[in-house]
Chain A
Amino acid sequence: MGYKPKLVCFSCKFGWAYLRDMNALGEDAEFLTPVECSGRLDALHLLKAFKEGADGVLILACEEGHCHFQEGNFRTLKMLYLLRDVLEAHGIEKARVRIEFSLDPEGRKILGRIARMKESLSALGPLNRALL
């Protein structure tokens, strides 16, 4: 198809790949951005990602009930419900932002999740830049 979706993946350091060297994940994780708690991400950070060129955003948060800072992951989930409504009103599909909750100390699941998200982004096509 030629179109390679640009996916920004935010992952929480306390739950994903803390036993692994993230830099070794390679090209497929090109825009992987580890953060200290998904709860630090606010709506503006995600909107900016779209504005700067992302076709989609994936947030890898910690398992429900296991956030190191108590409930940052849940806060992000609540924020995303509102953000998705805003995106949809602007013609940006809700499926372009996704959050997944799990525990992956070895970083075994990251590439798979990224690949899966990129697949669904491929089906949606590139983000219409005129909408921004």
Chain B
Amino acid sequence: MGEKPKVAICWLGACGGCDEAIVDLNEGLLDVAEAVSIEFWPVAMDYKYDHLAAFGKGEIAVGLVSGHVRNSEHAEVAHLLRDRCKLVIALGACACFGGTPALANLVSREEILDAVYVKAPSVVNPDGRLPQVETAWEEGTLRLPAFFDHVYSLNQVIEVDYYLPGCPPPSELIRNGVRAVLTDDLPPKGSTLAPRKALCETCPRNKTKPMRLEIHGPIRRIHEVEADPEMCFLAEGILCMGPATRSGCGETCIRSNTPCRGCFGPVPGVSDPGSRFISSLAALLKVGTTGDPEAVMASLGDPVGYLYRFTHPVSTLGARRLSQATEETP
């Protein structure tokens, strides 16, 4: 009798939004439950890691993994999933590219621990105690995961078969992705299960662009202005990452009168969309004969935070592979 394929859904350094997107399938979840057997989903069901480890190698057909990797628990579970799952799909921006939390790559582990455990205004910690990986106690040794110095995307830790980007990925995209897996209707390994072109292709506001798109003088960020609900943001001089971001999200943000922030990551052929967009902005932002180019470019406010919001670990300066040597605990 045909056994239902096994599915594991796991979160690493995650906020739970991607799991929420799966739940948002609503009635569709029932269809999913009929088609597959969900063997592991810590968020929704009470399974422990031992349960996952008990499976044989490759016994689980698909592992949907959300969240980035930034501590040793994430890394261990990632390796475990890779072993037990035939296919691993990186689910969501954090797994695909590192996600927003990866902006922490711009500060050191020491600074983070210091800020959270010592300097935070509501913390009283006169001895400056920090969490330790191992703490000896009467009853035994307590272990905590080691906190890495860098945030990694999933593919910098294990081999990833497919990617479902987004923050979170739209439920439809997830359903279609899973269906593709189950019907074996898949593109080559390493592909992203989303359209290939950037957002402008599907954006409802693209046609409102003028013949020659130009932004004169400083660029505005969305909180600085009242945006016209129908005009292309860039055409209005408002910063939007659409041209550098893969489409497939259904333009939820755009339809809420908010410009794109890049959560679907780069299009095929580009690995570092933030750095690519630097040159695009340099071309797009025009400085008049009396303008100050430095001031105009500074109007972006926080270029690093904006350009690499979801993709720092896959950017040129941020990319590295997780190796044991680099992440030994101090």
Interface residues in chain A, defined as those with a beta carbon under 8 Å from any beta carbon in chain B: 42-44, 47-48, 50-51, 74-79, 81-83, 85-87, 89-90, 92, 131-132
Of B4-12, B37-45, B196-204, B280-288, the stretch lying at the interface with chain A is: B280-288
Partner of B282, one of A78, A86, A89: A78
Given contacts A81-B298, A89-B106, contact A42 B279 (CB under 8 A): yes
User: In the complex the two chains form, is A89's CB within 8 Å of B283's CB?
Assistant: no
Is B213 engaged at the interface, CB distance under 8 Å to the other chain? no
Give Cα A82–Cα B282 distance, bound, in whole angstroms: 8
Distance in angstroms from A6 CB to nearest chain B CB is 17
Q: Which residues from B are CB-within-8-Å of A81?
A: 293-294, 297-298
Interface residues in chain B, defined as those with a beta carbon under 8 Å from any beta carbon in chain A: 106, 272, 274-276, 278-279, 281-283, 285, 287, 293-294, 296-298, 300, 303-304, 307-308, 316-317
8 closest A-B pairs by beta carbon, nearest first, are A81-B297, A79-B282, A42-B279, A78-B282, A43-B278, A47-B316, A89-B304, A43-B275
User: In the complex the two chains form, is A43's CB within 8 Å of B304's CB?
Assistant: no
Give Cα A85–Cα B303 distance, bound, in whole angstroms: 7
Give Cα A131–Cα B294 distance, bound, in whole angstroms: 26
Q: Which residues from A are CB-within-8-Å of B297?
A: 78, 81-82
Distance in angstroms from B321 CB to nearest chain A CB is 13
List the B residue with the shortest CB-CB distance to A47.
Answer: B316
User: In the complex the two chains form, is A86's CB within 8 Å of B283's CB?
Assistant: no
Partner of B278, one of A50, A74, A83: A83
User: In the complex the two chains form, is B316's CB within 8 Å of A44's CB?
Assistant: yes
Give Cα A7–Cα B300 distance, bound, in whole angstroms: 29
